[in-house]
Amino acid sequence: MLRTAGKELALAPLQDWGEETEDGAVYSVSLRRQRSQRLSPREGPGDGQTPGPHASTFLHYRTSKVRMLRAAHLERLVRELVSVDREQDPGFVPAFLATHQAFVPTARVLGLLLPPPPPPLPPWVEIKKTEGQDLSFNKNLRAVVSVLGSWLRDHPQDFWDPPAHSDLGRVRTFLGWAAPLGAEALEAEKLLRDFLEEAEQEQDEEEQPQASAGPPGTARTPSPDSPEGYLEEEEGLVQEGPELLDFSVDQVAEQLTLMDVELFSRVRPCECLGSVWSQRDRPGAAGIAPTVRATVTQFNLVTGCVLGSVLGAPGLAAPQRAQRLEKWIRIAQRCRELRNFSSLRAILSALQSNPIYRLKSSWGAVSREPLSTFRKLSQIFSDENNHLSSREILSQGSPGDPSSPTSSLSPGSPPSSPRMRDPPPGSPPASPGPQGSSTKLPLALTLSCPGIPHVGQQGSEARVIRVSIDNDHGNLYRSILLTSQDKVPSVVQRALQKHNVAQFWARDYQLFQVLPGEKELLIPDNANVFYAMSPAAPGDFMLRRRKKEEAQHTTSVSPT
């Protein structure tokens, strides 16, 4: 197809075509539309004329077929690591290396990937390197070495197997004869040294407390009745840690970002898969997905810190609480500027929670500018159009920017914040809170706020619960905030909205509480969920469709 430059067809460069099956492997097929520029037919190279600077040109479009592997047996997947066309399917190798531990151990993959070493030649045979034997001309060996190099650099923890590190030893043996002087072999040697140093460091840390304790009976602990013990106890009661207003906005936001970056950089992609994350609450699965659990714990700590700083002191007046609200809103805005969406969402979740939302006098004392900022920030995590706003903002970052922590890890994301509610209209606004001292203080002290309800923990009038849907699409849950005023229709409607299920089907679902021992408790349709649920397992719920006979006799009840 020929078209004059500047009048291109407005077609997508990549269009889905369908699926193909070949030898048990399923491929997704797309059509890629590529553009190439060529001269006008009147000024082609065959006429012997040299085109002028203003020669008319045409756009030539070429359509090519692109196949990407989507499902296959393990042997075919491993074979595809070596034979895949990186231009057609550039994401296959990174995706497989990042997620393979969810369904196959590293040793099994290496057994299928690494070829056996060549047999040794007799001593009287003269060794001659040919193009087929040299690594630079052996395509398969070069592909295996390239895959191992990416694996060692991007996922070194896959080879952590103390004390022998047998998987890493197999890789070193292969690289020793396939690419002895290559960067991959050097990377394997460096990784082994790092593993050994880490093991020695852990051993030293385990022995150090025993050595510092000394022989039995030598350590002397002051008695509470002694003067030294009385002074220590009195100092412990009198000394207080730094408060929120002692820190500047930049200090708090930057420290939260540094903590989140450290946690999110350790997250293993295979732990974010629904098949892995959904197993975390089963018996004996306490160690599943530890890196994702660490981000959830940090999220809950930040949320608890916000709640504790605003609600912790009963004697605070409304203007004082308003100063703390304004301070957290400015911290959230600074986290937005730093692209720390995890702490941003944690702060907004706490500010939108029912205990803080009910502080009408305090919200009334908040200045107009922080209120406007709070509304704009809350729109980032709006549930409309499947979180379209947050997804668009996250996609705006350029590839060269450092990765910022986000809460968009689909299976392992922290509890979702409730829907945004506008604070009450304000009375006379208070002045913004002070910026605080510029002295660097340990921010970790402010994250230990007791008495804050997390998932499954009893709060005064609210708690976070997990609600899943009983279907064949996995065991994924969505977290919602449950208050003492919520009845079953309201909880069902919000849970379906979180799962992107049409809300007009709410009357067709029943709410069950999941109890230990594979038991369930049916919550009556008009019951108050907060008081009707059992304290044995207060955090886990499930939606299940009614039977056809029950659905026909069930009338729609509007949520309260």
Mind giving me the DSSP string for 440-455?
Answer: ---GGGGG---S---B
Q: Which residue has the tokens 């078209």?
A: 3
pLDDT digits (tens, 9 = 90+) for 21-69: 888 888 888 887 776 655 555 545 545 555 555 555 566 677 778 888 8
Contacts of 267 (CB under 8 A, 6+ apart): 291, 292, 295, 409, 412
Reply yes or no: is the peptide bond before residue 269 cis, omega within 30 of 0: no
- State the DSSP string of 38-52: EE-GGG-GGG-PPPP
pLDDT of residue 346: 93
With bands split at pLDDT 50, 70 and 90, how would you rate the model's confidence at 335?
very high
pLDDT of residue 301: 92
Select, from the ranges 127-141, 473-487, 512-526, the one with the highest average predicted confidence (pLDDT): 512-526
pLDDT of residue 386: 66
- Residue 148 vs residues 90, 136, 158, 183, 311: alpha-carbon distances, Å: 16, 16, 12, 11, 53
Lowest mean pLDDT among 230-244, 373-387, 480-494: 230-244
- Alpha-carbon distance of 382 to 469, in angstroms, equals 22
pLDDT of residue 51: 54
Give Cα 34 to chain centroid, integer Å. Answer: 34
Tell me the backbone φ, ψ of residue 68, rounded to 5 degrees.
-130, 130
More confident residue, 417 or 552: 552
pLDDT of residue 299: 94
Contacts of 361 (CB under 8 A, 6+ apart): 318, 427
Half-sphere exposure of 437 (CA within 13 A, CB side): 8
**pLDDT reading at 131 higher than 70:** no
Q: What is the mean pLDDT of residues 421-430?
A: 36
Query: Inter-axis angle of helices 92-99 and 139-154, to 10 degrees?
Result: 50
**pLDDT reading at 422 higher than 70:** no
- Alpha-carbon distance of 517 to 208, in angstroms, equals 42
- State the DSSP string of 218-281: ------TTSHHHHHHHHHHHH--PPPGGGS-HHHHHHHHHHHHHHHHHT--GGGGSHHHHTTTT
More confident residue, 155 or 23: 155
Q: What is the mean pLDDT of residues 323-346?
A: 94
Query: Taking Cα atoms as reference points, which of 178, 180, 189 lies closest to residue 152?
Result: 189
- Alpha-carbon distance of 438 to 519, in angstroms, equals 55
pLDDT digits (tens, 9 = 90+) for 356-370: 988 999 999 999 999
With bands split at pLDDT 50, 70 and 90, how would you rate the model's confidence at 554?
very low
pLDDT of residue 211: 52
Contacts of 175 (CB under 8 A, 6+ apart): 145, 148, 182, 184, 185, 188
Q: What angle do CA 345, 347, 349 make, to 5 degrees?
A: 65
**pLDDT reading at 412 higher than 80:** no
- Domains defined along the chain, listed by start: 245-447 (1.10.840.10), 462-552 (3.10.20.90)
pLDDT of residue 506: 72
**pLDDT reading at 225 higher than 80:** no
**pLDDT reading at 250 higher than 90:** yes
**pLDDT reading at 182 higher than 60:** yes
**pLDDT reading at 186 higher than 60:** yes
With bands split at pLDDT 50, 70 and 90, how would you rate the model's confidence at 429?
very low
With bands split at pLDDT 50, 70 and 90, how would you rate the model's confidence at 438?
very low
**pLDDT reading at 148 higher than 70:** yes
With bands split at pLDDT 50, 70 and 90, how would you rate the model's confidence at 11?
low
Reply yes or no: is the peptide bond before residue 516 cis, omega within 30 of 0: no
Q: What is the mean pLDDT of residues 282-310?
A: 88
pTM comes to: 0.58
Alpha-carbon dihedral sign for residues 160, 166, 172, 174: negative
Give Cα 283 to chain centroid, integer Å. Answer: 24
Identify residue 78 by its one-letter amino acid code.
V
Give the residues across from 39 on adjacent strands.
Answer: 57
Give the residues across from 27 on adjacent strands.
Answer: 20, 69
For 487, which DSSP code? B
Q: What angle do CA 118, 119, 123 make, to 5 degrees?
A: 125
**pLDDT reading at 455 higher than 60:** no
- Is residue 75 within a helix (H) or strand (E), and if so which, with residue range? helix 74-83
**pLDDT reading at 544 higher than 60:** yes
Average pLDDT, the chain: 74
pLDDT of residue 37: 56
Q: Are 276 and 288 in contact (CB under 8 A)?
A: yes
**pLDDT reading at 264 higher than 90:** yes
Lowest mean pLDDT among 169-173, 337-341, 423-427: 423-427
With bands split at pLDDT 50, 70 and 90, how would you rate the model's confidence at 313?
confident
- Alpha-carbon distance of 534 to 520, in angstroms, equals 10
- In this structure, the strands spanning 540-545 and 519-523 are unpaired
56 token code pair: 């008319």
Q: Are 151 and 188 in contact (CB under 8 A)?
A: no
**pLDDT reading at 237 higher than 60:** no
Q: What is the mean pLDDT of residues 475-482?
A: 79
Tell me the backbone φ, ψ of residue 330, rounded to 5 degrees.
-70, -35
Q: Are 451 and 481 in contact (CB under 8 A)?
A: no
Q: What is the mean pLDDT of residues 422-439?
A: 35
The answer for 145, left when phi > 0, alpha when psi is -120 to 50, beta otherwise, is alpha
Q: Are 75 and 112 in contact (CB under 8 A)?
A: yes
More confident residue, 471 or 398: 471
- Alpha-carbon distance of 250 to 335, in angstroms, equals 9
**pLDDT reading at 249 higher than 90:** yes
Q: Which residue has the tokens 């009334």?
A: 364
**pLDDT reading at 553 higher than 90:** no
9 token code pair: 């067809």
pLDDT of residue 473: 56
pLDDT of residue 10: 53
**pLDDT reading at 456 higher than 50:** no
- Alpha-carbon distance of 265 to 257, in angstroms, equals 12
Q: What is the mean pLDDT of residues 376-404?
A: 70
